[in-house]
Amino acid sequence: MGSILVFGASGQLGQCLAHVAKERNTADMVFPPEAQANILNPQGLKELFEQYRPAYAINCAAYTAVDKAEDEVELARKVNRDGVENLARLCGEYGTTLIQISTDFVFAGTGNTPLVETDEAAPISIYGLTKLEGEQVIAPHTAKFFTLRTSWLYSEYANNFVKTMLKLGRERDELRVIWDQVGTPTYAIDLAGCILTIIETQNQQYGIYHYSNEGLTSWYDFATAIFELSQTTVKTTPIRTAEYPTKATRPAFSVMDKTKAKTQLGVAIPHWRTSLQTCLSRLG
């Protein structure tokens, strides 16, 4: 089957891909260092593609500092749009299938029913806008792509909400957590498994897909579950978004419908609490 190039290998999802690839004995996965695999360096990318002639390119590289993006618009756009276009162009040239990771932040989040792939994207933050622009630059260069929109990623690796809550839960007696933003936590190990399933089955039903764990919750209820399942004693108080102002506006409801992923990609998706328990047990 040819090699699989992973961009953003040192980030959370990149590390999860390495973990799952090892578990599954997935051959030919290449995790080049960022200096060699900088998606903003077209010449460096060209050399990588020429060396490996990959069957797949998985793009986990992204500008994800949601609040900082409001001030660093051009940098966010370079990484989230221009970098993706650099990859898409080479994927088209080399016949490589691109797997691009996107986000629930492409939606405004003003509804109250699970979002399907054809729902209107109307981002309300610079981060969401630049990620949407990244989705849009792919198709002009290649038809062989999977765009996976995901949400609320966490794992044993890198910095994320679960690890932050565990740390704060040990340090403080009380935490105030937002309860009026509703979505679905996603265990990045599960997302990595979905990506490898696409590759292993050589699926060719290209397009945009939603992938998060099953169910829905608020950040407050997510935090409460983290403390309950990890047996951490800390008082949690629910607060409204307005009580915790941030530079960027977040979607109030960004629960995604995964029917398309389950039927066309053939993936089984665990409930978020089940996956949270798995992650916590691995964190010890």
Q: What is the pLDDT of residues 101-112, one digit of tens each?
A: 999 999 999 999
List Cβ neighbours of 120 (8 Å cut-off, separation of 6 or more): none
Helix (H) or strand (E) holding 175: strand 174-178
Provide the pLDDT for residue 242. 95
Provide the pLDDT for residue 27. 86
Provide the pLDDT for residue 284. 81
Q: What type of residue is 259?
A: T
Q: What type of residue is 237?
A: T
pLDDT digits (tens, 9 = 90+) for 79-93: 999 999 999 999 999
Cα distances (Å, whole numbers) of residue 101 to 7, 122, 192, 239, 281: 11, 18, 11, 30, 26
- What is the secondary structure of 113-140 as a DSSP string? SPBPTTSPP--SSHHHHHHHHHHHTTTT
Q: Which CATH superfamily is domain 4-160+186-213+254-269 in?
A: NAD(P)-binding Rossmann-like Domain (3.40.50.720)
Residues in the chain: 284
| 154 belongs to the catalytic site | no
**For residue 62, how many other CB atoms are within 10 A of its CB?**
24
pTM: 0.97
Buried b (16+ CB within 10 A) or exposed e, 93-105: ebebbbbbbbbbb
**pLDDT over threshold 80, residue 224:** yes
Show the tokens assigned to 130: 């630049």
Residue of 52, 56, 63, 127 marked catalytic: 127
What integer is the mean pLDDT of 270-281? 98
How do the residues of the chain divide into helix, strand and coil, expressed in percent and rounded to 5?
A: 45, 20, 40
Residue 257's pLDDT band (boundaries 50, 70, 90)? very high
**pLDDT over threshold 80, residue 1:** no
Residue 229's pLDDT band (boundaries 50, 70, 90)? very high
pLDDT digits (tens, 9 = 90+) for 20-56: 999 999 989 999 998 899 999 999 999 999 999 999 9
Provide the pLDDT for residue 100. 98
Provide the pLDDT for residue 251. 97
Residue 166's pLDDT band (boundaries 50, 70, 90)? very high
**pLDDT over threshold 80, residue 116:** yes
- Return mean pLDDT, the chain: 97
What integer is the mean pLDDT of 181-196? 98
Residue 164's pLDDT band (boundaries 50, 70, 90)? very high
- Paired strand residues for 217: 183
Closest CA to 104 of 163, 179, 185: 185
Provide the pLDDT for residue 265. 97
End-to-end C-alpha distance for the chain, whole angstroms: 37
Provide the pLDDT for residue 2. 85
**pLDDT over threshold 90, residue 133:** yes
- Paired strand residues for 146: 99, 207
User: What backbone torsions phi and psi does residue 99 show, to the nearest 5 degrees?
Assistant: -115, 110
Q: Where are the alpha helices (DSSP H) in the chain?
A: 12-24, 42-52, 73-77, 83-94, 126-136, 161-171, 188-200, 219-230, 259-260, 272-283
Residue 262's pLDDT band (boundaries 50, 70, 90)? very high
